[in-house]
Amino acid sequence: MKRPFVLGLTGSIGMGKSTTARMFAEEGLPVWDADATVHRLYQPGQPAALIVSRLFPDAMDPDGRVNRPRLRALINEDATVLDRLNAAVHPLVAEDRARFLAHADAPIVLLDVPLLYEIGLEKACDAVAVVSAPPEVQRERVLMRGMTEAEFRTILDRQMPDEEKRRRADYIIPTTSLEGARQAVKDVLEDIRRTKDA
């Protein structure tokens, strides 16, 4: 079986990445979602939940589920918590991603990863698409989700600036409108298929 073309999808918080990933899925691409993988690994009895219960017992619910709001609070209180958490959970996530790629039976697959550039994962991709919207649109979307301005700033500080992501990307998908994003997704796939088969 021929190795699939690996397209990475990334973008800062509130830029419309999840919606855009769904559009790629609707076009028939198998999608590996980093956030969904972490969520699954945090379920009772799963490897990441067992690690969190060992490292941060205060962040656990009685049923063995990771209490994400409590874990976020611990991260906000102590900057080292996130680094320790990432060091423990990232290898599990990488293992899951490797399994997905090994079994992917499609000409093009999508890796949906919020911190793709930050963790150097672009090296594992044949091309990277970045979702982007103006800063005021991004801020409005995030605050509408119920996040505070302070939480938004904390997350932004940990992410590579949108401008830098756009500079590095092979493709930029503007997400100010659903129609525009959907057309950009189709254009990206058309370009990949053309260059892949050339």
Residue type for 35, please?
D
End-to-end CA distance of the chain: 19
User: Is 110 in contact with 29 (CB distance < 8 Å)?
Assistant: yes
Residue 155 has pLDDT above 60, yes or no: yes
pLDDT of residue 50: 94
CA distance 134 to 137: 5
Average pLDDT over residues 2-27: 95
pLDDT of residue 89: 92
Average pLDDT value for the chain:
93
Q: Which of 6, 24, 14 lies closest to 132 in space, CA to CA? A: 14
Question: Domain ranges in the chain?
Answer: 1-30+107-198, 37-103
Residue 198 has pLDDT above 70, yes or no: no
Q: Which one is the CATH code of 1-30+107-198: 3.30.750.24, 1.10.260.40, 3.40.50.2000, 3.40.50.300?
A: 3.40.50.300
Q: Which of 28, 5, 24 lies closest to 131 in space, CA to CA? A: 24
List, in order, residues 6 or more apart from 91 with CB less than 8 Å away: none
pLDDT band at 1 (very low <50, low <70, confident <90, very high): low
Residue 16 has pLDDT above 70, yes or no: yes
**Pairing of the two strands 127-132 and 31-33:** unpaired
Average pLDDT over residues 158-185: 96
pLDDT band at 3 (very low <50, low <70, confident <90, very high): confident
**Which of the residue ranges 53-57, 68-72, 111-115, 187-191 would you say has the lowest mean pLDDT?**
68-72
Average pLDDT over residues 87-112: 94
